[in-house]
Structure 1
Amino acid sequence: MRKFCFALILLPMLLSGCHRRPGPTNTVTVLIESSPTNLDPRIGVDAPSERIDMLLFDALVHRDKHFGIEPWLAERWETPDPQTYVFHLHQGIHFTDGRTLTSRDVKWTIDSILNGTVVTVKANGYQSIASIDTPDRLTVIFHLKRPDSSFLWNLCDGASGIVPYGSGADFWRHPIGSGPFKLVSQAQDRDVLISRNPAYWQAPPRLQEVRFAVVPDATTRALELQKGSADLAINAFPSDMVAALARNNNLIVESGPGTILNYITFNTRDPLLRDIRVRQAIALAINRPLIIQSLFDGRARLAESLLPPEHWAWTAEVEHHPYNPQAANALLDRAGHPRDSRGTRFHIAMKTSTDETTRLLAMVLQQQLAAVGIQLDLRSFEFATFYADITRGAFQMAPSRWIGGNEAPDIFRYSYAKASFPPHGANRGYYENPEVDRLLADAAASSQQTKQAQDYQQIQQIVAHDLPTIDLWYLDTVAVHTRRLKNLTISPSGDFNGLRTAFVH
């Protein structure tokens, strides 16, 4: 019914042919759901902040297509031992105000995070750093207190960006980077305007300006695109809106494999859910292919790990849980949960946010679990209340998702280590496995990617059996854009890096 009503409202406008182009010819307008909270790359952690920062700032290192780390501002680096990293910077890189980027700027960026010049949650990612030396203008040496497998990841684009020496707490008002674009203006709850950096040290962008317009409502975003007052929106619509927009001849819908992961968390301290057989039965009772087709119009991939399949540490050699209600019933019988006269084995409460797609998913899960005798009692809360309950363990089951965080293998420590119980991490289901903790420590002690991959693959095999969480699917990255926008590449992460090479015609 929701899809039908939306189509009735939107389709006449899509077919009307009424459209106008935004602003100057070489300017594009990108729709975002909310304003960036802080365009200082040392501080902003929300998606709009990090994605715009990636266009304004450069990092020491860069993620490749397999989520490995490759040189960026640093043309190379050496690791004499697991606790020492020596970076050699490219020569002749400048900030957009003309200042030369040197090792002093790199040291200041990290020191200002650690010494409290800026107050930021990102400081947690750099606690392994003991000191930073700058023997010359192009060399930076990091000395670590202990081996840290996530160290390079915390220095890459999205997680980090180099700011000029002396940048203080108010830097976010007029941020200056070395990226392909520079900031022109920002207005809270309205827009952010950036312009081309013609002196960029790599190939400069072809777009003259990009305006990020804040439009919280999905229907309004759809209407802005169809009438031509906006050019692009990424991962901004439910599947029914995407289908309607695809029928507009002035728009193009492009999609590709994404990394946003939907999953279910179990409270493993719960008397029912502490039994692995119950968790496994729930996984077998969920018809994931049907949900992907019905709720997401097929724009998702089945998941059996936190990491996306393209990741260097991912493995397919894990225990799978295909839809099998017969096997689910057998497991529940063996676990000592017979059906009562009404066919119910037991009740489980599932807390959700008020997000519409999440609530729809919860209702589908309720129906599917009922088929194996599990009564799912749904409780919806505003996000702040929902998140507070999840972080203090006041839940039995809860749906959630990872956006970007699951691209770094350190996600296993953050999600499954005993040391990551809230408030120290995201092990909100209080899962404990000494072998997982041992493998995490072993991976952290090595600087060799091959050895780390072996440890992370064993961790994936263990958690695929224990099921502290059920990894459901990776949502596709879906971009809807006007035909005037050309050469746009789609990032699995859903970021805006494709604007580096795009142009209008």
Structure 2
Amino acid sequence: MALGALLPLAACNQPTATERGILHFLIASSPNNLDLRQGTDAQSERVGALIYDALVEKDDHFNLQPWLATSWERPDPLTWIFHLRSGVRFHDGKPLTADDVAWSIRSMTNGALITAKGGAFADIVSIEVRDPLTLVVHTHQANASLLFNLSDGLFGVVEKGAGREEGLHPIGTGPFKFVSQLQDKEVVVERNPSYWAGAPKIEHIRFDVVPDAITMALEMKKGSGDAESSDITLDMVHALRGLPNLRTESGPGSIVIYANFNVNDPALRDRRVRQAIACALDRPALIAALWRGEARPANTFLPTDHWAQASDSQLPLYPHDVARAVRLLDEAGLKPDKNGIRLRFTLKTSTDETTRLVSQAIQQELHEAGIELTLRSAEFGTFYSDITKGAFQMYILRWIGSNEDPDIFRYAYATASFPPKGGNRGRYSNPRIDALLQAASAETDQAAQRRAYVEVQQILANDLPGIPLWYPNNEVVHSARLTNVKLDPGGSFNFLRTAELQ
């Protein structure tokens, strides 16, 4: 049954007097581990970031700004010196010191924890605590991403000695204190009245787990839920928009959806063929039809307004142009057969419904340029195994969070990042890209880093080992009693720090 038919059946409920101080936030799944050293799923990172504080926080341009660390220096490419904020206390009253920060980092690599995040700190060779508010981190090679990996959502400072069970009853320094968790049902947090950055306005938040998107939309409609964040479909958001008890917020998102090529495949080895495919795509039409206009075309992996993002004027672009696509295929020696087909290849995807619809639309668009695209979908485990092994010609996937760090280009396209060492699944290799990325990692001046990253983006936009497609918007639906909702591109729940509940 369509959501539009179901919505009128749901009556509007008002919160009871005992619930007026409780925000009911609907999430699609339980956090796997609220300890940010261990939790890697989106819910763990978003809810965990309300309980724990990071050393630094990303601003609107993805520059890293002081948070628990008030300042830092990088005297040479292998050394980081952090100066910590004084007067910060954990939820149990203990003061934050450099020993806590040192343990939080060391525990991810010394065997105290088994965590997928340990690899981000594998370059660290030692951590020196100089005094209660100063620590020095030494690495064996230049690592420009170290600071990013200590930022909000990815990292949270725990008390010295906190072990594998920390996520069962987390104790952080963040704006909210942990109260309880029932797996697959709810997580409850309460305001930290002594928060060093100012106490939140909301007294209690109950994160209610609602796996089914239609059920979630109905809960929002009848007033049982106060907020959801990008967990229901755009059609559902559209159906809820304009209802008197609800408000809809939409803002630029940092997630990027992209297509990637196997550049060693004989059919796709010539970059003119990849450029032709890009020209045959009508991204504005796809965004209008499949995303209701709630996305923006992407020409690079980095989010809009990122400090290292190359501007459109600095990049070769591929607007929809079938004639140019045909001309490029001609130049690559691909002539039409008796059926008008110049190129045949296969696109692999997961069984995700949105990706399936996108793939079908792309199939139709490419056909206009004489390109016959075969679609092959599989459940995510099989799909991901195939692309990691290089058993594909082209696939569609998304980068979530990791593309906020310009080091994404090293992970996705450096020669040293072929799986299993990285995410260069298309086996693209360019010595100039490798040299630029190495130079950027060792550079301590951001302006010089930007120059290197801009050139990387220019080369990638010319070689096209992959095609950035679009950035979907962040969509938050919330009750009218929740006010002062300010979204951030990363889709975090940080707006709950300052939002108010009427």
TM-score category (smaller protein) = over 0.9
Residue 464 in structure 1 maps to residue 465 in structure 2: no
2:498 aligned residue: 501
Deviations 1:412-462 (A, max 9, x none): 101010111111111111111110000001001111111111100000000
TM-score, normalised by the number of residues in structure 1: 0.97
Q: Secondary structure at the match of 1:363?
A: helix
Task: Provide the rounded CA distance (Å) in 1 between the counterparts of 2:153 and 2:225.
Answer: 25
Q: Secondary structure at the match of 1:473?
A: strand
Please state how far the C-alpha of 1:19 moved relative to its aligned partner. 2.5
2:447 aligned residue: 450
Equivalent residues of 1:238, 1:296 under 8 A apart: no
Please state how far the C-alpha of 1:503 moved relative to its aligned partner. 1.1
Amino acid at match of 1:357: T
Q: Secondary structure at the match of 2:149?
A: helix
Equivalent residues of 1:264, 1:397 under 8 A apart: yes
Task: Provide the rounded CA distance (Å) in 2 between the counterparts of 1:202 and 1:256.
Answer: 25
Residue 73 in structure 1 maps to residue 35 in structure 2: no
2:295 aligned residue: 300
Amino acid at match of 2:65: E
TM-score, normalised by the number of residues in structure 2: 0.97
Amino acid at match of 1:20: Q
Task: Provide the rounded CA distance (Å) in 2 between the counterparts of 1:114 and 1:422.
Answer: 21
1:19 aligned residue: 13
1:43 aligned residue: 38
Deviations 1:87-110 (A, max 9, x none): 111111110011111011011111
Please state how far the C-alpha of 1:246 moved relative to its aligned partner. 0.3
Task: Provide the rounded CA distance (Å) in 2 between the counterparts of 1:34 and 1:382.
Answer: 19
1:391 aligned residue: 388
How many residue pairs end up in the alignment?
A: 499
Deviations 1:68-121 (A, max 9, x none): 111111111222222221111111111001111101101111111110100111
Task: Provide the rounded CA distance (Å) in 1 between the counterparts of 2:353 and 2:5.
Answer: 19
Q: Secondary structure at the match of 1:158?
A: coil
Amino acid at match of 1:277: R
Please state how far the C-alpha of 1:7 moved relative to its aligned partner. 4.7
Q: Secondary structure at the match of 1:113?
A: coil
Equivalent residues of 1:239, 1:295 under 8 A apart: no
Deviations 1:389-421 (A, max 9, x none): 111111111110111111011101010101111
Task: Provide the rounded CA distance (Å) in 2 between the counterparts of 1:332 and 1:238.
Answer: 37
Cα RMSD (Å) of the superposition?
A: 1.2
Task: Provide the rounded CA distance (Å) in 2 between the counterparts of 1:52 and 1:7.
Answer: 28
Residue 341 in structure 1 maps to residue 338 in structure 2: yes
Deviations 1:277-307 (A, max 9, x none): 1100000001000010111111111110000
Q: Secondary structure at the match of 2:40?
A: coil
Residue 225 in structure 1 maps to residue 191 in structure 2: no
Q: Secondary structure at the match of 1:52?
A: helix
User: 1:337-486 to 2 correspondence within 5 Å?
Assistant: 337-486=334-483
Task: Provide the rounded CA distance (Å) in 1 between the counterparts of 2:11 and 2:185.
Answer: 27
Task: Provide the rounded CA distance (Å) in 1 between the counterparts of 2:124 and 2:249.
Answer: 42
Q: Secondary structure at the match of 2:346?
A: strand
Please state how far the C-alpha of 1:8 moved relative to its aligned partner. 4.0
Equivalent residues of 2:50, 2:494 under 8 A apart: yes
Deviations 1:121-166 (A, max 9, x none): 1111112211111121111111121221111111111111100001
Deviations 1:348-405 (A, max 9, x none): 1111111110000000011011111111111111111111111111111111011111
Amino acid at match of 1:279: R
2:244 aligned residue: 249
Task: Provide the rounded CA distance (Å) in 2 between the counterparts of 1:500 and 1:18.
Answer: 27
Equivalent residues of 2:175, 2:192 under 8 A apart: yes
Deviations 1:437-493 (A, max 9, x none): 000010011111111111000000000011111001111111111101011111111
Residue 285 in structure 1 maps to residue 285 in structure 2: no
Deviations 1:254-278 (A, max 9, x none): 1111111010011111111111011
Please state how far the C-alpha of 1:237 moved relative to its aligned partner. 2.2
Residue 321 in structure 1 maps to residue 318 in structure 2: yes
Amino acid at match of 1:315: A
Q: Secondary structure at the match of 2:333?
A: coil
Task: Provide the rounded CA distance (Å) in 2 between the counterparts of 1:21 and 1:273.
Answer: 58
Equivalent residues of 2:347, 2:393 under 8 A apart: yes
Please state how far the C-alpha of 1:346 moved relative to its aligned partner. 2.8
Amino acid at match of 1:498: F
Task: Provide the rounded CA distance (Å) in 2 between the counterparts of 1:33 and 1:201.
Answer: 31
Task: Provide the rounded CA distance (Å) in 2 between the counterparts of 1:12 and 1:197.
Answer: 39
1:161 aligned residue: 156
Amino acid at match of 1:473: W
Unaligned runs of 5+ in 2: none
Equivalent residues of 1:39, 1:175 under 8 A apart: yes
User: 1:31-180 to 2 correspondence within 5 Å?
Assistant: 31-180=26-175
Q: Secondary structure at the match of 1:490?
A: coil
Equivalent residues of 1:309, 1:315 under 8 A apart: no
1:259 aligned residue: 254
- Amino-acid identity (%): 50
Deviations 1:25-60 (A, max 9, x none): 111111111111111111111111111111000111
Unaligned runs of 5+ in 1: none
Task: Provide the rounded CA distance (Å) in 2 between the counterparts of 1:7 and 1:150.
Answer: 43
Equivalent residues of 1:308, 1:406 under 8 A apart: yes
Q: Secondary structure at the match of 2:19?
A: coil
2:6 aligned residue: 10
**Larger displacement relative to structure 2 (181-190 or 281-290):** 181-190
